[in-house]
Amino acid sequence: MQPQPEQKNVVIVSGMSGSGKSTALKVFEDMGFFCVDGLPARMAPALIELFFNSSAKDYPGLAMGMDLRQPDFVGQWKEVLLDVQKFSVRPTILFTDSSNQILLRRYATTRRPHPLASGNLGLEGALEREREILEPIRAQADLVIDTSHYSVHDLRRVIQDKWESLSSRSQGMRVHLISFGFKYGAPAEADMVTDLRFLPNPYFDEALRPMSGKDEAIARYVLDSNPGHEYLRRLLEFLDFTLPLYASEGRYRLTMAFGCTGGRHRSVAVTEAVLAHLREQGFNVSVEHRHFSLG
Residue 47 marked in a binding site: no
One pLDDT digit (tens) per residue for the chain, 295 residues? 344 444 568 899 999 999 999 889 998 888 888 999 988 888 888 898 888 888 777 788 899 998 877 767 777 888 888 888 777 778 889 999 999 999 999 988 877 888 888 777 788 998 998 999 899 899 888 888 998 888 887 888 888 777 766 555 445 688 999 999 999 999 988 999 999 999 999 999 999 999 999 999 999 999 999 999 999 999 999 999 999 888 877 677 899 999 999 999 999 999 999 999 999 988 888 899 999 988 6
Helices marked H in the chain: 21-30, 44-50, 73-85, 100-110, 123-140, 152-167, 216-223, 228-248, 266-280
Residue 263 marked in a binding site: no
Residue 30 marked in a binding site: no
Residue 69 marked in a binding site: yes
Residue 179 marked in a binding site: no
Residue 70 marked in a binding site: yes
Which pLDDT value is given to residue 167?
A: 59
Residue 17 marked in a binding site: yes
Length of the chain: 295
> Hey, what's the torsion of the CAs at 90, 91, 92, 96, to 10 degrees?
-140
Residue 113 DSSP class: P
Residue 75 marked in a binding site: no
Which pLDDT value is given to residue 250?
A: 64
Which pLDDT value is given to residue 170?
A: 46
Which neighbouring-strand residues pair with 275?
none
Which pLDDT value is given to residue 295?
A: 66
Interaxial angle between packed helices 73-85 and 123-140, expressed in degrees from 0 to 180 and rounded to the nearest 10: 20
Residue 8 marked in a binding site: no
HSE value, Cβ hemisphere, 13 Å, CA-based, for 143: 29
Which pLDDT value is given to residue 168?
A: 53
Residue 20 marked in a binding site: yes
> pTM for the complete prediction?
0.60
Residue 58 marked in a binding site: no
Task: Give kind and range of the element (H or E) at residue 60.
Answer: none
Which pLDDT value is given to residue 162?
A: 73
Residue 267 marked in a binding site: no
C-alpha distances in Å from residue 196, one per residue of 13, 170, 229, 261, 265: 34, 30, 13, 8, 10
Residues 272/214, Cβ–Cβ less than 8 Å = yes
292 burial type by CB count under 10 A (0-12 exposed, 13-18 middle, 19+ buried): buried
Q: How many CB atoms sit inside 10 A of residue 130's CB?
A: 22
